[in-house]
């Protein structure tokens, strides 16, 4: 095995060693090489994925040092790298009987079991390492143990290990990220925010902690606090692209589209352009009303990734805003080729088809959406609107009955649509009783309804109820 204190071999020495060995093989000669050099060379080839060369070195090394336990370990590692786990495991276990505290054997066994999805067996060896490994190795092993628990869905165990890792080494950034991931899986977002806040009291210059605190605030809808946390992360690590992207997302959620656009532009100064960045910039410009520049960014996104769904959808939205409905449909159709059941695209396509008075086609889109997600409120609203636009109020009421089988009967948006169809069918008593209830439950819903049907107030019975309930 590796002797303690062996001097580190630099990259130049390894390359020289590799050239010497490869020259020997090409010449068909047999030369003497130091045992440790041969082990190092096998490691080098394994790291590069050059398995055939690693096997050649091992074959030559075994002829020189047939009793070497270290070479037996390298042979097992070669077997594992070629997927021959069943052959590698017994050899490693045999080696472990000679050296029960050999870190590399435990690591190799643990990694093999992890690849085989035998996570509990992997944990046995990773946990064994925690009992005797040096402090530097333990930093990595803590993460390995946490990841195995994550693979088993044991989030609480993973959190416990990660907290222990951070207690022993607060600079362990991987532990900070994994902890956020596990707490998110457990739904413990507020607890995560509290932990990172307390952690930063003791370690105020941890950009990873600031970043994860920002993510926790964002998940909780506290966008201003999220932006502040991302700003601290950026102040400490000004080229950390994820903090910029998340900050822009938080600003977008706050409808600060101009500020979000500026942050996206900042990322282009130090981060390679990503399709998503160009798409988000297009969305910001769309909200700012600059449709032509928005289109340019959506097109730049598609130049990088022709299959970027959201960019196709964005171009469709722009054409819809320009009242070019035929062009919008082409973009939505392209998006659906990429993702045939994308709910937002189906909904937007149906809306455009309805504007074009292609009501039957619009209904087909909405049926497809509702077959996959019968609880989609907007799809039900659009489908009922579509029937009401055709004055098919009997059919609208049947659809409303179907909708209430999947959605709460207290939905006032559907209730107002029900009132419209009942009133249109001259079922006045039932319609007005429903209206009394709706006005008490959601008066603003009536104001929204009047934007579509202002003539409702021409009926004195509706007008009097509306006036009486008006704040």
Q: Mark whether 425 and 456 lie in a shared domain.
A: yes
* Neighbour-count burial of 59, counting CB atoms closer than 10 A to its CB (0-12 exposed, 13-18 middle, 19+ buried): exposed
pLDDT band at 267 (very low <50, low <70, confident <90, very high): very high
206 belongs to a structural domain: no
Task: Give the model confidence (pLDDT) of 64-84 as tens digits.
Answer: 676 667 777 777 777 777 778
Q: Mark whether 426 and 392 lie in a shared domain.
A: no
Q: Mark whether 444 and 413 lie in a shared domain.
A: yes
Q: Is the pLDDT of residue 374 over 50?
A: yes
Task: Give the model confidence (pLDDT) of 141-154 as tens digits.
Answer: 999 999 999 999 99
Q: Is the pLDDT of residue 23 over 80?
A: no
Average pLDDT over residues 398-423: 94
Domain boundary at 379, 399, 419, which? Answer: 399
Q: Mark whether 389 and 431 lie in a shared domain.
A: no
pLDDT band at 6 (very low <50, low <70, confident <90, very high): very low
6 belongs to a structural domain: no
Average pLDDT over residues 78-94: 81
Q: Mark whether 417 and 391 lie in a shared domain.
A: no
362 lies in which domain range? 345-399
Which range (1-15, 57-71, 300-314, 408-422) has the least confidence?
Answer: 1-15
Most confident of 34-38, 59-63, 189-193: 189-193
Compute the distance between CA of residue 305 and CA of residue 395 in angstroms, rounded to an integer.
Answer: 43
**CATH value at residue 376:** 1.25.40
Which of 165, 157, 90 shows the shortest CA–CA distance to 133? 165
94 belongs to a structural domain: no
> Could you give the 3-state DSSP secondary structure of residue 306?
coil
290 φ, ψ (degrees, to nearest 5) = -95, 80
Task: Give the model confidence (pLDDT) of 287-322 as tens digits.
Answer: 999 999 999 999 999 999 999 999 999 999 999 999
Q: Mark whether 378 and 412 lie in a shared domain.
A: no
394 belongs to a structural domain: yes
Our count of domains for the chain comes to 2
Domain boundary at 399, 425, 442, which? Answer: 399
More confident residue, 380 or 104: 380
> What is the average pLDDT value for the chain, to the nearest integer?
90
Average pLDDT over residues 394-404: 96
Please tell me the total number of residues recorded for the chain in this structure. 471
421 belongs to a structural domain: yes
Q: Mark whether 377 and 428 lie in a shared domain.
A: no
Residue % of the chain over a pLDDT of 70 = 96
Compute the distance between CA of residue 21 and CA of residue 34 in angstroms, rounded to an integer.
Answer: 12
Which range (132-141, 268-277, 364-373, 388-397) has the least confidence?
Answer: 132-141
What pLDDT score does 7 carry? 40
What pLDDT score does 265 carry? 95
Tokens 């990429």 correspond to 338
Task: Give the model confidence (pLDDT) of 376-393 as tens digits.
Answer: 999 999 999 999 999 999
422 belongs to a structural domain: yes
Non-local (6+) Cβ contacts of 350 within 8 A are: 362, 363, 365, 366, 369, 379, 382, 383, 386
Q: Mark whether 355 and 386 lie in a shared domain.
A: yes
Compute the distance between CA of residue 150 and CA of residue 139 in angstroms, rounded to an integer.
Answer: 17
467 belongs to a structural domain: yes
Task: Give the model confidence (pLDDT) of 107-128 as tens digits.
Answer: 889 988 998 899 999 999 999 9
Compute the distance between CA of residue 320 and CA of residue 161 in angstroms, rounded to an integer.
Answer: 52
Compute the distance between CA of residue 50 and CA of residue 97 in angstroms, rounded to an integer.
Answer: 30
Which of 23, 25, 82, 26 shows the shortest CA–CA distance to 51? 82
Compute the distance between CA of residue 233 and CA of residue 176 in angstroms, rounded to an integer.
Answer: 14
Q: Mark whether 445 and 428 lie in a shared domain.
A: yes
Q: Mark whether 420 and 470 lie in a shared domain.
A: yes
Q: Which two tokens stand for residue 327?
A: 């062009």
pLDDT band at 5 (very low <50, low <70, confident <90, very high): very low
Q: Mark whether 452 and 416 lie in a shared domain.
A: yes
What pLDDT score does 4 carry? 40
What pLDDT score does 22 carry? 72
Compute the distance between CA of residue 91 and CA of residue 71 in angstroms, rounded to an integer.
Answer: 11
> Is residue 244 within 8 Å of residue 233, measured between CB atoms?
no
The one-character DSSP state at 274 is -
370 belongs to a structural domain: yes
């Amino acid at each position: 095995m590796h002797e303690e204190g062996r001097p580190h071999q630099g990259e130049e020495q390894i390359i020289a060693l590799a050239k010497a060995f490869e020259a020997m093989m090409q010449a068909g000669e047999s030369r003497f090489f130091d045992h440790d050099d041969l082990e190092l060379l096998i490691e080098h080839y394994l790291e590069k994925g050059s398995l055939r060369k690693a096997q050649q070195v091992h074959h030559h090394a075994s002829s020189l040092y047939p009793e070497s336990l270290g070479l037996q370990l390298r042979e097992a590692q070669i077997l594992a790298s070629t997927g021959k786990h069943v052959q590698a495991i017994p050899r490693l276990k045999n080696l472990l009987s000679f050296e029960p505290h050999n870190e590399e054997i435990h690591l190799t066994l643990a990694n093999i079991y992890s690849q085989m999805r035998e996570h509990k067996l992997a944990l046995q060896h990773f946990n064994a390492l925690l009992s005797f490994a040096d402090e530097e190795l333990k930093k990595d092993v803590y993460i390995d143990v946490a990841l195995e628990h994550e693979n088993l869905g044991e989030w609480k165990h993973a959190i416990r290990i990660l907290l222990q890792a951070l207690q022993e080494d607060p600079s362990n950034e991987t532990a900070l990220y994994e902890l956020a991931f596990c707490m998110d899986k457990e739904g413990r977002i507020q607890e995560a925010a509290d932990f990172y806040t307390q952690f930063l009291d003791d370690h105020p210059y941890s950009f990873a902690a600031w970043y994860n605190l920002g993510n926790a605030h964002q998940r909780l809808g506290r966008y201003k606090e999220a932006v502040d946390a991302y700003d601290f992360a950026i102040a400490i690590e000004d080229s950390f692209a994820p903090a910029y992207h998340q900050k822009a997302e938080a600003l977008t959620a706050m409808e600060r589209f101009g500020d979000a656009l500026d942050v996206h532009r900042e990322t282009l100064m130090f981060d390679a352009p990503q399709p998503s960045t160009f798409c988000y910039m297009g969305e910001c410009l769309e909200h700012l009303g600059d449709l032509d520049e928005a289109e340019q960014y959506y097109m730049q996104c598609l130049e990088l990734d022709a299959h970027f769904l959201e960019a196709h959808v964005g171009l469709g939205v722009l054409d819809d805003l320009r009242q070019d409905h035929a062009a919008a449909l082409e973009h939505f159709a392209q998006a659906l080729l990429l993702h045939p059941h994308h709910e937002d695209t189906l909904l937007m396509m149906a809306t455009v088809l309805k504007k074009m008075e292609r009501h039957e086609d619009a209904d087909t889109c909405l049926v497809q959406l509702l077959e996959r997600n019968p609880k989609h409120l907007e799809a039900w609203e659009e489908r009922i609107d579509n029937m009401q636009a055709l004055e098919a109020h009997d059919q609208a009421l049947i659809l409303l009955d179907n909708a209430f089988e999947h959605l709460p009967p207290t939905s006032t948006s559907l209730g107002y649509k029900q009132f419209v169809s009942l009133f249109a069918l001259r079922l006045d008593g039932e319609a007005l009783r429903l209206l009394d209830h709706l006005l008490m439950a959601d008066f603003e819903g009536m104001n929204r309804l009047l934007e579509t049907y202002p003539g409702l107030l021409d009926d004195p019975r509706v007008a009097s109820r509306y006036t009486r309930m008006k704040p």
